[in-house]
């Protein structure tokens, strides 16, 4: 099971120490990625940088009380700002990576008609990257990371230290994992064929948080049951991830049609392939949505959701 390791994690490790060790590991990953992000040779570097930020925010959201709510909330907001600054850039990267797949949907004779649009996307991406790269090397970002490091290494003063900070991490991790499982299950139970896209997106986020929690602490819970549980979570995520990608592509293409292509007479010939592609992406999104809904319904009818919770409990209790 892939995970962000907590150095020297063991069941009796004080909770605050485990959480701080995890956050320091994630901070190290962020800093390690920055030079490669600035070189901009591989979009995967930005993706991994974002994952380290996202995992840090999940830790602060679900476990931050163990290191002090004041610092946790403050730094979660600051890391959120850093993460949001890359959202559009990452969306453009994903869209451009899918250019070949998107083009193959069209008849061969129409594929060149998309070239002007993708060129415009590349131009926007270059402009956004230059802005982000300039900001990433400013004192604002450097100070953010340095101050976070200063606190995590135990040099900060004046924060609250709840009693749970000194308790063993194992029972706390168990409680948080099971609690978030219940949240995910409740959110999934509300999904049906009429659920709006934002609701599916929220479920996807909560599933991702649960998976991260399990990955953080999986060394405490050996056995195959946890692995089977995570595989099921990943199946949910795969469908929701592809649905989200299709929704993003649809939004991009609609914007290209309505805001850019519709007013420029020299590229009128490119509107028809764009329309065809929009319809294809819409159909793919609907297929992924239906596949996710079927997966939920199968789980309900077979009692799988309860079986999953039982497997999770047994795995954690060992």
pLDDT single digits (tens) 84-98: 999 999 999 988 988
| pLDDT score for 268 | 43
Residue 251 CB coordination number (10 Å): 15
The residue-averaged pLDDT of 201-208 equals 90
At 173, give phi and psi (nearest 5°): -60, -45
From CA 132, how far away is CA 174, in angstroms rounded? 39
Buried-state track 212-223, b at ≥16 Cβ within 10 A, e below 16? bbbbbbbebbee
Q: Tell me: the pLDDT tens digits for 173-203? A: 988 998 998 898 888 888 877 788 888 888 8
β-partners of residue 14 are: 168
State yes or no: pLDDT of 315 exceeds 80: no
Right CATH number for 168-318 from 1.10.260.40, 1.10.10.60, 1.40.20.10, 3.40.50.720?
Answer: 1.40.20.10
The residue-averaged pLDDT of 9-27 equals 92
Share of the chain above pLDDT 90, in %: 37
Helices 224-255 and 87-97: crossing angle in degrees, nearest 10, is: 90
User: Distances in Å between the alpha carbon of 183 and those of 32, 217, 225, 247, 315?
Assistant: 34, 19, 20, 25, 19
In which region does residue 156 sit, left (phi positive, over 0), alpha (psi from -120 to 50) or beta (all else)? beta
Domain boundaries, the chain: 12-153, 168-318
**Quick check: pTM over 0.85?**
yes
**Helical (H) or strand (E) element with 13:** none
From CA 84, how far away is CA 82, in angstroms rounded? 6
The tokens describing 167, both together, are 């308790």
Question: Helix, strand or coil for residue 168?
Answer: strand
The residue-averaged pLDDT of 135-159 equals 83
**pLDDT confidence bin for 206, thresholds 50/70/90:** very high
Higher pLDDT, 312 or 56: 56
State yes or no: pLDDT of 220 exceeds 90: no
State yes or no: pLDDT of 261 exceeds 50: no
Question: Helix, strand or coil for residue 223?
Answer: coil
Say if 12-153 and 168-318 have the same CATH topology. yes
| pLDDT score for 38 | 97
- Which residues does 225 contact at the CB level (< 8 Å), separation at least 6? 311, 312, 314, 315
Average pLDDT over the chain, rounded to whole? 83
At 14, give phi and psi (nearest 5°): -55, 140
State yes or no: pLDDT of 262 exceeds 70: no
Range 12-153 has CATH code 3.30.420.40? no
For the chain, the distance separating the N- and C-terminal CA atoms, rounded to the nearest angstrom, is 18
Q: Tell me: the pLDDT tens digits for 267-308? A: 445 577 778 888 888 888 888 888 888 877 776 666 656 666
């Amino acid at each position: 099971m892939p995970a962000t390791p907590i150095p020297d994690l063991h069941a009796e490790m004080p909770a605050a120490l485990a959480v701080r060790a995890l956050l320091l590991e994630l901070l190290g990953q962020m800093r390690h990625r920055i030079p490669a992000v600035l070189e901009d040779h591989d979009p995967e570097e930005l993706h991994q940088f974002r994952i380290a930020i996202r995992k840090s925010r999940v830790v602060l959201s679900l476990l931050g009380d163990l290191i002090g709510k004041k610092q946790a909330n403050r730094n979660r907001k600051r890391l959120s700002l850093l993460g949001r600054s890359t959202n559009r850039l990452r969306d453009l990267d994903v869209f451009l990576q899918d250019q070949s797949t998107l083009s193959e949907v069209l008849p061969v004779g129409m594929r060149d008609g998309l070239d002007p649009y993708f060129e415009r996307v590349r131009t926007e991406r270059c402009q956004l990257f230059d802005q982000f790269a300039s900001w990433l090397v400013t004192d604002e970002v450097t100070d953010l990371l340095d101050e976070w490091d200063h606190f995590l290494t135990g040099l900060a003063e004046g924060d609250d230290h709840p009693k749970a900070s000194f308790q063993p991490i194992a029972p706390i991790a168990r409680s948080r994992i099971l609690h978030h499982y219940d949240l995910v299950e409740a959110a999934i139970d509300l999904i049906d064929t009429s659920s709006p896209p934002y609701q599916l997106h929220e479920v996807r986020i909560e599933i991702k948080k649960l998976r991260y929690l399990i990955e953080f602490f999986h060394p405490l819970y050996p056995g195959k049951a946890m692995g089977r549980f995570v595989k099921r979570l990943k199946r949910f995520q795969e469908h929701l991830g592809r649905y989200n990608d299709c929704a993003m592509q649809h939004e991009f293409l609609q914007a290209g049609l309505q805001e850019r292509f519709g007013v420029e007479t020299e590229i009128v010939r490119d509107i028809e392939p764009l329309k065809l592609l929009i319809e294809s992406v819409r159909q793919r999104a609907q297929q992924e949505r239906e596949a996710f809904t079927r997966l939920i319904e199968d789980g309900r009818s077979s009692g799988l959701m309860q079986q999953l919770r039982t497997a999770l409990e047994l795995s954690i209790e060992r």
